Structure 1
Amino acid sequence: MSEAKRVTAAVLLIGDEVLSGRTADKNLQQIAQFLAPIGINVIECRTVPDEQDVIVDAVNTLRARADYVFTTGGIGPTHDDITADAIAAAFGLQIDVRADALEIIEEWYRKSGTPLTDSRKRMARIPDGASLIDNPVTGAPGFQTGNVFTLAGVPKIARGMLEDIAHRLEGGAVTLSRSVKGENLREGDIAARLGELQEQFPQVSIGSYPYFLEIQDGKIRRGTHLVARSTDQAALDQVIDTIAGYVAELGLVPQIDPDK
């Protein structure tokens, strides 16, 4: 059997409100979690302001680097919603209000009894040739241009749009993840051996993540999570067993998740 190919994605978060810290991003996490079971790994994420030239540059860079790109934000009805124009510019396409998108929006606002203003009609501006992405939350569609999927910035809406994307994606090998937690384990106690293990198993990504939890009377409960990720189940299991052995040799109890 031939080895499944590696399929990658990049996420572009668009909006001054994200960069200012006024809005906390949740889209990267939910997009990555949505793609992982399909066998698509997010390899890069960028956050850019509402500036067309910056968005265009980021889109063109990312779509050349990754198999798929997901943008979030900037497709609403206000003056600073310029993502659709930026996507059109990135692909060298014309853009205007499109009849199929306008029909969806008109029907949505008719059912909700809300006036359809000129500002709201801006959400029907779609680059020529782009495929619409269904929006089950608020009606106004996203769109796909080449390998770029343009989603709303509101996390609930973006998540709803993802349901109309899965069938358009070609996945690859699914990356599996297992971990070993060591209570009272310090990174320095195991760092050298982890480095040697990483060299022995280059097909497995090994990460070390210390944690510090405040408990009663100001005391600190500490330890380290050791996480391994790979598309190779056998190699992953071997690495986890080895790490657990390292932790046990230090006189600590390794907690393996998920266990075999």
Structure 2
Amino acid sequence: MAKCNAAINYGAKLLRQITCCVLLIGNELLSGRTRESNLHYIAEYLGAKGIRVAEARVIPDIHQRIADTVNEVRKKHDYIFTTGGIGPTHDDITAESIALAFDLPLVENETIANRIKTRTPRDSTLTNRLRMARVPQGASLIENLTGGPQGFYLENVYVMAGIPSVLRAMLPTIDIASCAPLHSCSLEVALGESHIARQLDEVQRQFPMLEVGSYPFVRDGQIGTSVVFRGTEIEQLSAAFDTTRQVLLRLGARPTSETFDWDTS
């Protein structure tokens, strides 16, 4: 079993990229009752489109906290994606909080309401289910063919379900701008970070448009470091990888693992 510790980033001066912030909303995440599983999927999906998840936060089900956070981050990033809090219960308050952030009234969307009425028996659950039809006035809908909660968006803020299967159905329906996809490659070496920190700092200076990160681990009692390179230019990534590999070999440390997310054959 590997133990991962804090990572070091060596200060890449990246080209202007499209960035996003992911807001994971829910007391159940903060309490540990629910295991968060959406961020990894979102980051991978967006990374393939060249969009970097520059920030992610887990925040509680508190109206003002959600509204204030949304207003803070939507000024800093191109896209904001929220997950959770759009179901039928009293503690599903994300729609209300987004309305608060934009200073808009919360209204019942006729399209969603009709869909719910068609699919739901007219019994005691209908009133609660119609809570899912409430969106901020003027919001556009995110397509959802699963029959679950309905997502929506305002400006650059996209509000999605917290249920992983529903979120994964929603995300591909959003019209997201793309740029050059992010690529990565990595190698592992049986040396601690302190033994290669100076060398990695030099590699970062040689390749300022790449992001060079080191991630220490302990595996079967052996201390090691995983070095990861990220960027949009495969040629530069390959050059940085080869440079680092040669540096490590001169230190007497042969990489124990090498990975690339592109075809190297």
TM-score by length of 1: 0.89
Give 3-state SS (helix, strand or coil) of 1:64's partner: coil
- Give the whole-Å Cα distance in 1 for the aligned partners of 2:144 and 2:117: 14
Distance 1:114 1:169, change over 3 A: farther
Match of 2:214?
208
Aligned match for 2:259, one of 249, 257, 260? 257
Task: Specify which structure has the higher proportion of helix.
Answer: 1
Please tell me whether the aligned partners of residues 244 and 256 of structure 1 are also in contact (alpha carbons under 8 angstroms).
no
Answering whether residue 106 of structure 2 is matched by residue 128 of structure 1, we say no
Please tell me whether the aligned partners of residues 188 and 227 of structure 2 are also in contact (alpha carbons under 8 angstroms).
yes
- Give the whole-Å Cα distance in 2 for the aligned partners of 1:212 and 1:78: 43
Distance 1:114 1:243, change over 3 A: farther
Match of 1:163?
172
Note the C-alpha offset of 1:242. 0.7
Please tell me whether the aligned partners of residues 148 and 166 of structure 2 are also in contact (alpha carbons under 8 angstroms).
no
Answering whether residue 152 of structure 2 is matched by residue 143 of structure 1, we say yes
Structure with bigger RCO (C-alpha 8 Å, 6+ apart): 2
Please tell me whether the aligned partners of residues 144 and 150 of structure 1 are also in contact (alpha carbons under 8 angstroms).
yes
Note the C-alpha offset of 1:211. 1.8
Note the C-alpha offset of 1:198. 1.1
- Give the whole-Å Cα distance in 2 for the aligned partners of 1:118 and 1:101: 13
Give 3-state SS (helix, strand or coil) of 1:38's partner: coil
Match of 1:45?
56
Note the C-alpha offset of 1:59. 0.5
Answering whether residue 47 of structure 2 is matched by residue 36 of structure 1, we say yes
Residues 1-260 of structure 1: matches in 2 within 5 Å? 6-109=17-120, 116-165=125-174, 168-182=175-189, 184-214=190-220, 220-254=221-255, 255-258=257-260, 260=264
Give 3-state SS (helix, strand or coil) of 2:74's partner: helix
- Give the whole-Å Cα distance in 1 for the aligned partners of 2:251 and 2:119: 62
Please tell me whether the aligned partners of residues 49 and 182 of structure 2 are also in contact (alpha carbons under 8 angstroms).
no
Letter of the 1:56 partner, please give it: A
Q: Is 172-181 or 36-45 further displaced after alignment?
A: 172-181
Cα deviations across residues 171-224 of structure 1 (Å, max 9, x unaligned)?
222211011122x2222221111111212221111111122123xxxxx24422
- Give the whole-Å Cα distance in 1 for the aligned partners of 2:215 and 2:168: 28
TM-score by length of 2: 0.87
Cα deviations across residues 46-65 of structure 1 (Å, max 9, x unaligned)?
11111111000111111111
Please tell me whether the aligned partners of residues 120 and 126 of structure 2 are also in contact (alpha carbons under 8 angstroms).
no
Structure 1 vs Structure 2: percent identity of aligned residues?
Answer: 43
- Give the whole-Å Cα distance in 1 for the aligned partners of 2:29 and 2:125: 28
- Give the whole-Å Cα distance in 1 for the aligned partners of 2:109 and 2:147: 18
Aligned residues, how many? 247
Please tell me whether the aligned partners of residues 109 and 115 of structure 1 are also in contact (alpha carbons under 8 angstroms).
no
Unaligned segments of structure 2, at least 5 residues:
1-14
Q: Is 231-240 or 36-45 further displaced after alignment?
A: 231-240
- Give the whole-Å Cα distance in 1 for the aligned partners of 2:141 and 2:177: 18
- Give the whole-Å Cα distance in 2 for the aligned partners of 1:45 and 1:13: 7
Unaligned segments of structure 1, at least 5 residues:
215-219
Match of 2:6?
none
Moved over 4 A (4+): 113-116
Give 3-state SS (helix, strand or coil) of 1:65's partner: coil
- Give the whole-Å Cα distance in 2 for the aligned partners of 1:115 and 1:133: 27
Letter of the 1:129 partner, please give it: G
